[in-house]
Structure 1
Amino acid sequence: MDQPDASFLTRLGKGLRARWGGASPEVEPSPAGMPVVLQAHADKITSAGQAMLQVRNGDHVFVGTACATPRALVAALEACKPRPLDVELVHFLTDHAVPHDEQGRCISHYRHRTFFVGQDMRAAVKQGLAEYVPMSIARVPGLMAIGRIAVDVALIQVSMPDEFGYVSLGVSVDVIPAAVAKARLVIAEVNPAMPRSMGDSTLHISQIHQLVLVDTPVIEFVHPAASEQAMEQIARYISGIIEDGSTLQIGLGRITNEALKHLADRKDLGIHSDVVTDAIIPLLERGILTGKRKSSQVGKIVTSFAMGSRRLYDLIDRNPLFSFQPIEVVCHSATIAAQHRMVSVTQAFAVDLTGQVCVDQLHGDYYSGMAAQIEFLEGASLSEGGKPIICLTSTEDDGETSRIRAMLQPGEGASLPRTAVHYVITEFGIAYLFGKSIRERAVALIEVAHPKFRAELFAQAQALGYLPPGQTLHNMRAYPVEEEQRVVLRDKREVLLRPATSSDGEAIRALFHCLPEQDVYTRFFRKVRGLSNKEVQRLCNLNFETEVAFVAAVGSRENAQIVAQGCYFVDPSTNLAETAFMVHPDWQGCGLGSSLQACMVRHAKARGVRGFLAEILPDNEKMIKLARNGSLQVSTEPTLDTVRVTTLF
């Protein structure tokens, strides 16, 4: 059996001493150059080429994941002569292990079965050299255990063994324990640069049949910056709904990682995530990631693999703050659901107006994959205060195609069913779909589509029967999240003042039915027993230029109660705006009307409106007083049936 040469072993020993702070009995090389820690296992040490000669015809070969991809072993298998026949490589996410020519074509000699179509696999799938399996990676270990996914050989990368004969799986635990448990032959690259991760991430060397020593840095992964303004805005929307004490899934999406940059003012966030990246480091340094409010493994960063820089790997190395677990443990729906305020974010390629989501096809080509998003979305939806989020830019990269579609296009699978979708976020706002009708979903999604596609989507939705004939469309701008304002009232209760949206219709109707008969009469100047859809839309489906409405909401965003509504309508001939208010009887007399009016005054002033005009019944003293409080320049004029109060800004 081939042995590494003495010069390699000497370099290896020096590297270990430099990494572990000088000589020790475990790492000091023997006269032959081999570190003592490896001498007891010398019979297992071989070269990559020799190890690959043990792969048989028809074998299913598992390849380790992501930044622990065993590149040297895969390269040796590709170079093997004679080449074993009918071999299939099985993997999740690999990094530069699959060979390509200068034109970007895959030139692997073997078939591939993959659960994620990353850059390594796109060409292979298109060329028919690889098969994509659309399933959650969290379910793969179970299928390996019963033989539905065959594994004969496992190629992995591990750390140096410790004095007890244990190696660490380092930055990738994921499905490796399951693959190792089923494999006839386990071959490991032993890399002194691989950090020793804590948690359930060790493997005894007796479970490894062949050791191949490598002297290479651990693969590093740098997230491309979310340079597009749209991605930056989406990241801000996501961060804006993450509360103190939330538990976060990080994921690999650029938008998700960008969102973490905007959490500097949060407290006691935790991590329970399939993968961690460098994005967590600033939050750790600022003391934001304490994990104090997690429901299990309090204070721990729980994950299954890491993709980042050497800085992250050094932080992970022998650090009990991190708990690396097999993928099926981390990504179990019940475990996720038990977390406090679990937040999961999934980037999508397209969403249709009923809420169906495509995450693994782009223009008909398979790209990306399910990872463990099904479990995280389900778990977050069941978590108390949890938020399952789908995010995407409103248009494709060319800016000429809407990602919000009337229907998913041919070649776009409904990876996530509409029944599982809660939040959908674009750079134009936040749509909440869960528990909503098809009409309500279509309206909400059209409002977060790019304005230049909204009219077309509206017409398509009507043609498909999603929207009734009386439905209207007025809002053609992004949701102005900067105009949201939390206000503490005189009685110490807190409300959120925010712009009204079309999806507020039912909540405004509910507010109307809470009003006493007298309040209804003073608001509408007539006896009204109910509001038609057209009347409801008049109160919330506005253009926010000449027609503006704000609401006061309490409770969660998912189940908000609207306790007040105010609106103004500009008369272009006078540049004055007529105002009207509704306030729930339980919220009157605490300053809510004044706060809502002040909010509307700020908005109107910023748009050059001269002032407000209110027509009020003479006996409605509360509203007359409210109208007069809007400005120092107030005039009151009695008319035939009302009092006209004009306030100039």
Structure 2
Amino acid sequence: MYQEEYRRKLVSAEEAVKCVKSGDIVDYGFFNGKPVLCDQALAKRTELRDVKVFCAVTIPPVPEVAKVRDSFTYHDWQFSKIARVLQSYGLCYYSPILYHQAPSLYRDGIAQHRNVVIIRVCPMDKNGWFNLGPQNSETMANLEVADYVIVEANKNVPVCLGGAEESVHISQVDYIVEAPEDDLLPDIPGAIPSEADKQIARHIMDYVHDGSCIQLGIGGMPNAVGRMIADSDLKDLGGHTEMVVDAYMDMMESGRLNGRAKRIDRNRVAYTFAIGSHKLYEYMNNNPAFASYPVNYTNDPRVIAQIDNMVSINNCVEVDLYTQVNGESKGPVQISGNGGMWDFVLGAQYSRGGKSFLCMTSSYKDKDGNLHSRIVPTFTPASIVTIPRQQVDYIVTEFGAVQMRSKPTWQRAELLIGLAHPQFRDDLIKEAEKLNIWRKTNKIEA
């Protein structure tokens, strides 16, 4: 029925990107939705000037447009390793948002108008729909307002069931580009957990019980939590998350996570994007245990609040003695982004029986092997406060998990110092005294 329209709209990548003009704003699909062929074709248009390109969590391959400084300015809503490297060369800029508000930024005209949107999708089905694959996010809101919509159809993208807004119809598409069969999604299995990651996971496991609903981020520590849950005797866990990682596959295949106790989206894991291994994408393909939703559903604290016993687990970079949390920068250098951290930290605390855990190793080594504390008296200038102290619930290191909510400044400082690496505790006490947030009666004698 739609084959004639498909043939009419099918063009080469070079032909498709001719709609981009100097001064345009172009959005690439986020995460695995980032185009490859169209990016390469657009980068060759070196006659263009002042074209702004936006993406989120830039994954391999490196976007070609970012390398053409005279023609394009590249932005990332949520920094990745590639974005960090590009930034170091002055080729990428961060754009801070509250992630759950992303669709409304487009629909309400708050974000600058998008002239062209280019996304990687599944091949069209018999009813004229292109499934968005393992990324939903803000996509449909973006497509609704753009002047031109280009889809890059790729046979290797898994069909990810909704949910809502998980597919775009051919009637909304201006140009179709077909990707070659060897254009695979990046294979990004989770990091191998360190011993500190495993210890942090053990502390969190003390707070997970039958019927808990789990939100995980990326990294070695979430993988450790997933593996421990899979090996436990917990029952009827649920999943509600912005991001699906391989750890969810472990929990689901073990039978521990089935969603039977959830009040909404029963028997399904609601999510808005996935980044993981090829094995994970194969597992998600046409799997009704997953429900792809736009981010204004998965990440809205008002939706998260409807889920009982929500357990939100996120990584952070450092915490100061006032329990302000930096989850995204090293001084003035952007290394990550807020993502959905703010959304889930708040939403989990609105959940009946819910808890939010902000996790980090207590220390790290620099390139010369020197040990540094992630718990600091105050942040260095230009460091970013991602989570204000009023929102902080639990903080976790390999030395324990402590709840900060409702506690005064001196008590927070005391508890936080107890989570620090022993090498730094005495110095942190001295700094807390200078900041007048340490009670002498509680002073730990050397």
| Range of TM-score over shorter length | over 0.9
In structure 2, distance between residues paired with 1:72 and 1:240: 47
- SS of match in other structure, 2:442: coil
In the other structure, the counterpart of 1:53 is: 18
Q: CA deviation at 1:72?
A: 1.5
One-letter amino acid of the counterpart of residue 129, structure 2? Y
One-letter amino acid of the counterpart of residue 410, structure 1? P
Q: Deviation string for 1:427-463 (max 9, x for gaps)?
A: 1111210000001100000101001110110111111
In structure 2, distance between residues paired with 1:214 and 1:336: 37
Q: CA deviation at 1:39?
A: 4.8
In structure 2, distance between residues paired with 1:250 and 1:37: 40
- SS of match in other structure, 2:100: helix
In the other structure, the counterpart of 1:435 is: 406
Identify the match of residue 405 of structure 1 among 376, 384, 390: 376
In structure 2, distance between residues paired with 1:71 and 1:315: 24
One-letter amino acid of the counterpart of residue 127, structure 2? F
Q: CA deviation at 1:351?
A: 0.2
Q: Matched residue pairs, number?
A: 435
CA contact (8 A) 1:37 1:161 kept: no
Matched, 1:92 2:56: yes
Identify the match of residue 69 of structure 1 among 27, 34, 40: 34
One-letter amino acid of the counterpart of residue 453, structure 1? F
In structure 1, distance between residues paired with 2:365 and 2:307: 36
In structure 1, distance between residues paired with 2:384 and 2:260: 39
One-letter amino acid of the counterpart of residue 75, structure 1? Q
In the other structure, the counterpart of 2:189 is: 222
TM-score (norm 2): 0.93
- SS of match in other structure, 2:371: coil
One-letter amino acid of the counterpart of residue 110, structure 2? R
In the other structure, the counterpart of 1:424 is: 395
In the other structure, the counterpart of 2:153 is: 190
In the other structure, the counterpart of 1:146 is: 108
In structure 2, distance between residues paired with 1:38 and 1:353: 62
In structure 1, distance between residues paired with 2:147 and 2:2: 25
In the other structure, the counterpart of 1:80 is: 45
Q: CA deviation at 1:327?
A: 0.9
In the other structure, the counterpart of 1:157 is: 120
- SS of match in other structure, 1:46: coil
One-letter amino acid of the counterpart of residue 257, structure 1? N
Q: Deviation string for 1:191-210 (max 9, x for gaps)?
A: 12222111121111111110
In the other structure, the counterpart of 1:350 is: 318
In structure 2, distance between residues paired with 1:87 and 1:107: 10
In structure 2, distance between residues paired with 1:38 and 1:97: 31
Structure 1 stretches of 4+ with a deviation exceeding 3 A read 36-40, 97-101, 105-109, 126-129
- SS of match in other structure, 2:227: helix
Matched, 1:472 2:443: yes
In structure 1, distance between residues paired with 2:8 and 2:441: 80
* Structure with more relative contact order (C-alpha pairs < 8 Å, separation 6 or more): 2
In structure 2, distance between residues paired with 1:287 and 1:88: 46
CA contact (8 A) 1:186 1:207 kept: yes
Identify the match of residue 389 of structure 1 among 357, 360, 366: 357
- SS of match in other structure, 1:41: helix
In the other structure, the counterpart of 2:213 is: 247
Identify the match of residue 416 of structure 2 among 445, 451, 460: 445
Q: CA deviation at 1:309?
A: 2.1
CA contact (8 A) 2:39 2:63 kept: no
CA contact (8 A) 1:239 1:260 kept: no
Matched, 1:290 2:254: no
In the other structure, the counterpart of 1:312 is: 280
CA contact (8 A) 2:34 2:55 kept: no
Q: CA deviation at 1:128?
A: 3.4
In structure 1, distance between residues paired with 2:195 and 2:435: 33
CA contact (8 A) 2:320 2:378 kept: yes
Q: How does 1:496-507 map to 2 (within 5 A)?
A: none
In structure 2, distance between residues paired with 1:405 and 1:106: 37
In structure 2, distance between residues paired with 1:348 and 1:57: 39
- SS of match in other structure, 2:221: helix
CA contact (8 A) 1:349 1:361 kept: yes
Which is further off, 402-411 or 351-360?
402-411
One-letter amino acid of the counterpart of residue 355, structure 1? T
Which is further off, 233-242 or 292-301?
233-242
One-letter amino acid of the counterpart of residue 104, structure 2? G
One-letter amino acid of the counterpart of residue 273, structure 2? F
Q: Deviation string for 1:231-279 (max 9, x for gaps)?
A: 2211221223211111111222331222111112211111100010111
- SS of match in other structure, 2:385: coil
Q: CA deviation at 1:301?
A: 1.0
Q: Deviation string for 1:397-433 (max 9, x for gaps)?
A: 3452111111112231111100000100001111210
In structure 2, distance between residues paired with 1:116 and 1:271: 22
In the other structure, the counterpart of 1:278 is: 246
Q: CA deviation at 1:285?
A: 1.6
CA contact (8 A) 2:223 2:247 kept: yes
In structure 2, distance between residues paired with 1:241 and 1:222: 26
Q: CA deviation at 1:98?
A: 3.7
In structure 1, distance between residues paired with 2:187 and 2:98: 25
State the identity as a percent. 30
Q: CA deviation at 1:37?
A: 7.0
TM-score (norm 1): 0.65
CA contact (8 A) 2:123 2:131 kept: yes
One-letter amino acid of the counterpart of residue 178, structure 2? L
CA contact (8 A) 2:43 2:64 kept: no
CA contact (8 A) 1:337 1:380 kept: yes
In structure 2, distance between residues paired with 1:323 and 1:136: 22
Structure 1 unaligned regions, length at least 5 = 1-35, 477-649
- SS of match in other structure, 1:212: strand
One-letter amino acid of the counterpart of residue 73, structure 1? C
- SS of match in other structure, 2:270: strand
Q: Deviation string for 1:275-327 (max 9, x for gaps)?
A: 10111122212111111111101111111111122222222222222110011
Q: Deviation string for 1:215-236 (max 9, x for gaps)?
A: 222332222212x321221122
Q: Deviation string for 1:455-477 (max 9, x for gaps)?
A: 11011111111012332216x9x
Identify the match of residue 454 of structure 1 among 403, 425, 431: 425
Structure 2 unaligned regions, length at least 5 = none
In the other structure, the counterpart of 1:129 is: 91
One-letter amino acid of the counterpart of residue 237, structure 1? H
One-letter amino acid of the counterpart of residue 470, structure 1? T
In structure 2, distance between residues paired with 1:246 and 1:424: 19
One-letter amino acid of the counterpart of residue 191, structure 1? N
- SS of match in other structure, 1:279: helix
CA contact (8 A) 1:71 1:96 kept: no
In structure 1, distance between residues paired with 2:85 and 2:129: 38
